Chain A
Amino acid sequence: MEFQTRKEANATIVTITGRLDAVTTPDYETRVRALIAGGDKCLIMDFAQLDYISSAGLRGLLVTAKLLKASGGAIRFANVGGNVKSVFDMSGFVSMFPIDDSVAIAIGALA
């Protein structure tokens, strides 16, 4: 799992590459908690390079969303496809979170 961030407008774009599973999610959580503790409030999760997500990954995302909600922030997802989209569908995440076709659209929605 690789975790990269960049800022655009008032959003922080988090690009996750590889797998969000039982092995990698603790590392993801540590990094995302640091971002939120550092004051980032609007996160866009770019999943174009995410190959695989399990319930451990979903758990990490839920923790992220709850933390942001509590701090008055927001989370959006972009480029959710393939197996990851199937898991989002089955877990009801598609109806719980805003999901956009691209990072640009997500940035526009947060502006």
Chain B
Amino acid sequence: MAGESAEAFELTILNTVEGLQEASAGAEAWLEQQGCDAECGMLVSLGIEELVTNCIKYGYDDAGQHFIGLRIEIVAGMLTLEIRDDGHAFDPLQVPPPDLTLSLEERPIGGLGLHLLREMADAMSYERRNGHNVVTLGKAIAGRTG
């Protein structure tokens, strides 16, 4: 594989648990081929799970089929994960961070997914483009083994 050229993984899935599993397995296999470090692998796994799960749960009013698009790209030592869906406009960057100082009794159940992504990614952006939510996560690759 040419080292200079952009390398990308693209997949379109349905808004179902099976779709989520397909995306996780496909991305994991591709990243392994690329020789990414564990932190980048974790960001992609979490990014897909948290964003696709949110979309399945809260993205749509109808019970119909929707497509969610994924693209992972490695360019110049930077990994980018982009997830596109046609659900309600939802900007994950506007969600306030959770209060991590609360005691066990006070801690709400949930609300940690987007926080994990913001913590783990070097860059996170959101755009509403042609009726689609486009969320992008970026992380510098520490070292490539492959």
Contact = CB atoms under 8 A, between A and B. Distances in A.
Interface size class on chain B is 20 to 34
A90 to B, nearest CB: 4
Interface size class of A (residues with CB under 8 A): 20 to 34
Interface of chain A, main secondary structure = helix
B113 A55 contact: yes
B104 A54 contact: no
B17 A58 contact: no
22 contacts: A21-B49, A22-B20, A23-B20, A52-B42, A55-B113, A55-B116, A56-B53, A58-B112, A59-B109, A59-B110, A59-B112, A62-B104, A66-B105, A83-B42, A86-B120, A87-B46, A90-B116, A90-B119, A92-B101, A95-B100, A96-B103, A96-B104
Where chain B touches its partner, the secondary structure class is: helix
A22 B49 contact: yes
